[in-house]
A and B are shown apart, each in its own frame.
Chain A
Amino acid sequence: MTNRLAPPGLYIHVPFCARVCPYCDFAVQTGGPRRRGDFIRLLLREIGLWSRLLRGEGSAPDRSAGQGSHQAVPSWRSEQPFDTIYLGGGTPSSLSPEVLEEILAALHGSLPIAPEVDVTLEANPEDVNTGNLRSWQRLGITTLSLGIQSFDPDALSFLGRSHTPEKAGAALRGALESSFETVSLDLIFALPGQSPMRWEADLRRAIEYGPDHISCYELTVHEGTRFARLKERGELVELAEDDKAELFLLTHRLMAENGYHAYEVSSFARGPNHRSRHNRKYWDHTAYLGFGPSAHSFDGVSRRWWNERRLPAWEAGLQRVPGASSGLGTGASGRFGQSPIAGSEILAPADLVLESLALGLRTTEGVDLERLRDLYGIDVEGENGALVASLRRDDLLVDTSPASLLVPTLRGLAVADALARSFEIPPATAS
């Protein structure tokens, strides 16, 4: 739900990776020291621009630039300090501690940051060593999210990861022995041909280390990735829907048995304090501000905008911004003019409702239809009474006492997209 009063989050996208994984569709690329240096310089510039904008300095968004374009110009409405910083990518752990420090210092120095801020760093096992762990803690990293993906050597090689199971284990142990508030790891399952037994063994190995948080992602073949090309040629055959469902249920059962509470489709935490505070902002329409190529931002009310996806376009956008006096402005590579921003949209009440359903039904918190009606003037409940009743009868939604609160069952979580699609969203009524 829109939560203007909730503290917003900050996201930094570091687009560099040592190599591109065959399943990854994020904005990533390889790059040497010079490119990385350019990136950091421009990232700091982007942070500086927003800093001035948030303080009400610099030029207001340039409304004269194009007809109607002022609608698309980003603005920031939240007056709360940011209480999460998420360094994602890409591989932000491949940046040296000194560079990370520079970025964090820029954020702290120019943006309102809450004292109890949660700072997450995504890290590859290869980058985890005693020296780095110590530096990251010193820099105030509170959550370390390890891209382990698997402890199965065959799976790792299929996924194109360069680390070994031993290296992954050592990294995880090292992280757990340090005093991060939360150590999390990512796993990927439902690989072609993967049997329930094999996945269970992989998952059990992860559980044995006792991390605070585990994300288990079903392998998704995204358009434009190498896996997509293999699939097209018939060289990669995805598991059947029923097999995926079986692995999904197995995952949730195993996690529950071992004290990991599922709070979202793919996210499990050993306690509420270990849930991802940052990701939640994406799921409940809290404001977030993103820096770096492809980063998305949301103003906490109705406006979302996104940066140029490719590094050169984002860089060019920032280079064109005239240095001192500027605000952020008017558009994407050409379309918006001088800005790293590629596009934006204003979400209509019906858009916000559809997103709330799609996102809320992915979480064990569910979605409160009464709240949607109060916020957006759209009566989803009235329009979908029969549907909700049948979803409850079919054991896809929990039979909770307040009729307006939709909470997916485990089977419901497994088909959350289909659930979200099945709702008719009536037009907003003047409240």
Chain B
Amino acid sequence: MQTIRNFCIIAHIDHGKSTLADRLIQRCGGVADRQFRDQLLDTMELERERGITIKSNTITLTYTAGDGQTYTLNLIDTPGHVDFSHEVRRSLMACEGAVLLVDATQGVEAQTVANVYLALEQDLEILPVINKIDMPAADADRVLEQIDADLGLDPFETLQVSAKEGTGIDELLETLVAKLPPPQGDSGAPLKALIFDAEYNAYRGVVLLVRVFEGTLRPGQMMRLMHNGAEYEVEEVGLVKLEREKQGELSAGAVGYVISGIKAVADIDIGDTITEVSRPAAEPLAGYVEAKPVVFSSIFPVSSDEYEELGKALDKLKLNDAALTFQKDSSSALGFGYRCGFLGMLHLDVVQERLSREWDLSLLLTAPSVEFHVTTADGKEHVVENPAEYPDPAAIEQVKEPYIKGSILMPDRYLGTVMELLLEKRGADTQFHYLAVGRVEVTSELPLTEVLFDFYDRLKTITQGYGSFDYELMDYRATDLVKVDILVNAERVDALAMLVHRDKARARAIHACKQLEKHIPRQNFKIAIQGAIGRDIIARRTVNAYRKDVTAKCYGGDISRKRKLLEKQKEGKKRARAFGNVEVPQEAFLAVLRSDPDDK
């Protein structure tokens, strides 16, 4: 056990975590060169493209150090976005130490700070490392200052590497085995193993990734999941190297996999504790948090005959994504679809992209919403996240909405405009403090719903990409909520309805009307687009009838080209939904959910 080191890498997106992981794997011979792909640990196509690690992956490496000892290094690859903080937390729980990786050209980001605090909460030993020192724009001194001032870590213990060039990797490995503590625990004690990840495998069912804290896991044991009570027989245990490597047992301190006939990831809870049925532990490991969706949106197929396919796709995604929830939904405008729950906006983005990319589905989404707590005059409490279920305003006594504590890290030159943005987003108790010269952290208590629309884009634009954002849920507070309806030629389009603060109603309605005006193609009659609260019209735009739509020159005999163009345009019409006789294309639905770049 003294030769085991369990650690993870904490880094902001693009700071080079995957590249560093690749170097460590290569250096430790975990993978033959011909098998080597860059950024090996990010398996999904989407992750590669967006540079985001969605599922955490783990790999066991063998390293012979300068002292002649051979060490087992368990690298736990943590996910990198705030939507997934519970995933980050349970990955951290499996470790004794963390490599904190900071980009020498970018510096410390808000999310990195949040993750460092999470790591400190788990009492991890943190090893600061500055990456990309080979870049011309690298400013290691400034980053050292941030590590000292922003994070309170020792700049003198900070290593400097270039994962891309492979420089500093040996020193990093030596420091790792020297500085990070070995795991503790008693292999003979009653079994306690943490499930920190799970992956669905079509042949083997669910493969659990576990960290054993106490006792020993062996095939043939009957195991129990302490939080949900389910019992399974352990079929196989082993180490995750480049491929799974079967072992006779996993004892205290080890990180590895367990296969036990579990059918779906949804059947288990990440963060749950495994114990032995015949000799159970007294209590589960601490820190278990149920992953609950906080953002909701309905997903409809553009073409109604893809409804079944959408259901199948969601089922498949759910196999690997326990945090995703969905149930059948229907809209008079869009027909059948699914009401889905997400951990946050990134989770929503990821699910949406995977559905369209991996399943080739064209989708329409409704405006993301949060859960509102509504008290009606009869004293009843309702949890409402779907505008369609919003009670009659006359019967509403009080509405509460969720608040978050948001934190923004950025250069201080953007302070003024960011404060304005927070004000506009109904931020309360907004404060800022200097972390270092020229660098501030702004904190604000914000309604979660304000972050769902237009916030990330605006922040990014305002700070020219230098601002980073992180948040955690706080509490519920009273609010003045209204339901805004959108009408197309006097027909209410339920899928475009949204629940917003009264002060924002007009602006959001105008935005929606403008986007629809922009994206609904002209038809042979005028189309009125209105935003309304109840019977009051608060916004109005018009799409004029088309007046000119004919090719000037149609000869030379190339009529085939003309026909093919018409066919293509007709095909485009099929990607639209008809409301009455108005065709609203998919882009129009999507544009309503986005901020308008032309507005800024």
Residues of A within 8 A of B (CB): 11, 26, 88, 217-220, 241-242, 244-245, 248, 265-266, 279, 282-283, 288, 290, 294-298, 304, 306, 345, 351, 354-355, 358-359, 362, 390-391, 394, 396, 411, 413-422
Q: Nearest Cβ in chain A — how far from B551, in angstroms?
A: 6
Check if B557 sits within 8 Å of A217, measured CB to CB: no
Contact of A362 among B525, B546, B550, B558 (CB under 8 A): B550
- Beta-carbon nearest neighbor of A343 in chain B: B560
Q: Nearest Cβ in chain A — how far from B559, in angstroms?
A: 6
- Bound form: Cα–Cα A283–B559 in Å: 9
Q: Nearest Cβ in chain B — how far from A356, in angstroms?
A: 10
Check if B553 sits within 8 Å of A354, measured CB to CB: no
Check if A266 sits within 8 Å of B559, measured CB to CB: no
Known: A413-B550, A417-B569, A419-B524. 17 other contacts (CB 8 A): A241-B547, A242-B547, A245-B548, A282-B555, A283-B555, A294-B556, A295-B557, A298-B557, A304-B557, A306-B558, A355-B559, A362-B550, A390-B524, A415-B524, A418-B524, A418-B546, A421-B570
Check if A266 sits within 8 Å of B547, measured CB to CB: no
- Bound form: Cα–Cα A359–B550 in Å: 11
* 17 residue pairs bridging A and B, Cβ less than 8 Å apart: A26-B556, A218-B548, A241-B522, A245-B548, A266-B553, A296-B560, A304-B560, A354-B566, A354-B567, A355-B562, A358-B562, A358-B566, A362-B554, A415-B549, A417-B569, A420-B566, A421-B569
- Bound form: Cα–Cα A106–B550 in Å: 38
Q: Scan residues 509-568 of chain B and give those whose CB is less than 8 A from a CB of chain A.
A: 522, 524-525, 544-560, 562-563, 566-567
**Residue B573 at the chain A interface, CB threshold 8 Å:** yes
- Bound form: Cα–Cα A390–B545 in Å: 14
- Bound form: Cα–Cα A354–B547 in Å: 21
- Beta-carbon nearest neighbor of B522 in chain A: A241
Q: Nearest Cβ in chain A — how far from B581, in angstroms?
A: 8
Check if A355 sits within 8 Å of B551, measured CB to CB: no
Most chain A beta-carbon contacts within 10 A, residue among B546, B555, B557, B569: B557
Across the interface, which residues of B come within 8 angstroms of A411, CB to CB? 547
What 7 A-B pairs are tightest by C-beta distance, nearest first?
A296-B557, A245-B547, A245-B548, A418-B549, A218-B552, A416-B550, A217-B552
Known contacts A306-B558, A359-B559, A421-B566: does B551 contact A391 (CB below 8 Å)? no
- Beta-carbon nearest neighbor of B569 in chain A: A421
Check if B548 sits within 8 Å of A415, measured CB to CB: yes
Interface size class of B (residues with CB under 8 A): 20 to 34
Check if B556 sits within 8 Å of A220, measured CB to CB: no
Residues of B within 8 A of A (CB): 522, 524-525, 544-560, 562-563, 566-567, 569-570, 573
- Bound form: Cα–Cα A418–B544 in Å: 14
- Bound form: Cα–Cα A241–B521 in Å: 12
Q: Nearest Cβ in chain B — how far from A295, in angstroms?
A: 7
B interface secondary structure, majority: loop
Across the interface, which residues of B come within 8 angstroms of A418, CB to CB? 524, 546, 549-550
Check if A414 sits within 8 Å of B549, measured CB to CB: yes
Across the interface, which residues of A come within 8 angstroms of B552, CB to CB? 217-220, 265-266
Across the interface, which residues of A come within 8 angstroms of B559, CB to CB? 282, 296, 298, 304, 355, 359
Contact of B553 among A11, A220, A244, A296 (CB under 8 A): A220
Most chain B beta-carbon contacts within 10 A, residue among A244, A304, A362, A417: A417
Across the interface, which residues of A come within 8 angstroms of B557, CB to CB? 11, 282, 288, 290, 295-298, 304, 306
Contact of A396 among B524, B551, B566 (CB under 8 A): B524
Check if B550 sits within 8 Å of A417, measured CB to CB: yes
Check if A421 sits within 8 Å of B555, measured CB to CB: no
Across the interface, which residues of B come within 8 angstroms of A294, CB to CB? 556, 558
- Bound form: Cα–Cα A217–B556 in Å: 14
- Beta-carbon nearest neighbor of A218 in chain B: B552
Across the interface, which residues of B come within 8 angstroms of A414, CB to CB? 547-550
Check if A394 sits within 8 Å of B548, measured CB to CB: no
- Bound form: Cα–Cα A245–B555 in Å: 21
- Bound form: Cα–Cα A355–B554 in Å: 11
Known contacts A354-B567, A417-B549, A421-B570: does B525 contact A394 (CB below 8 Å)? yes
Q: Nearest Cβ in chain A — how far from B548, in angstroms?
A: 4
Q: Nearest Cβ in chain B — how far from A208, in angstroms?
A: 23
Q: Nearest Cβ in chain A — how far from B247, in angstroms?
A: 57
- Beta-carbon nearest neighbor of B565 in chain A: A417
Check if A265 sits within 8 Å of B556, measured CB to CB: no
Check if B556 sits within 8 Å of A241, measured CB to CB: no
Across the interface, which residues of A come within 8 angstroms of B570, CB to CB? 421
Across the interface, which residues of A come within 8 angstroms of B522, CB to CB? 241
Across the interface, which residues of B come within 8 angstroms of A345, CB to CB? 560
Q: Nearest Cβ in chain A — how far from B521, in angstroms?
A: 9
Q: Nearest Cβ in chain A — how far from B403, in angstroms?
A: 44
Check if A220 sits within 8 Å of B546, measured CB to CB: no
Q: Nearest Cβ in chain A — how far from B507, in angstroms?
A: 27
Q: Nearest Cβ in chain B — how far from A222, in angstroms?
A: 10
Q: Nearest Cβ in chain A — how far from B565, in angstroms?
A: 9
- Beta-carbon nearest neighbor of B548 in chain A: A245
- Beta-carbon nearest neighbor of A240 in chain B: B548
Across the interface, which residues of A come within 8 angstroms of B554, CB to CB? 265, 282-283, 359, 362
Check if B544 sits within 8 Å of A242, measured CB to CB: yes
Q: Nearest Cβ in chain B — how far from A308, in angstroms?
A: 14
Check if B556 sits within 8 Å of A88, measured CB to CB: yes
Check if B524 sits within 8 Å of A417, measured CB to CB: no
- Bound form: Cα–Cα A304–B569 in Å: 22
Across the interface, which residues of A come within 8 angstroms of B550, CB to CB? 265, 362, 413-418
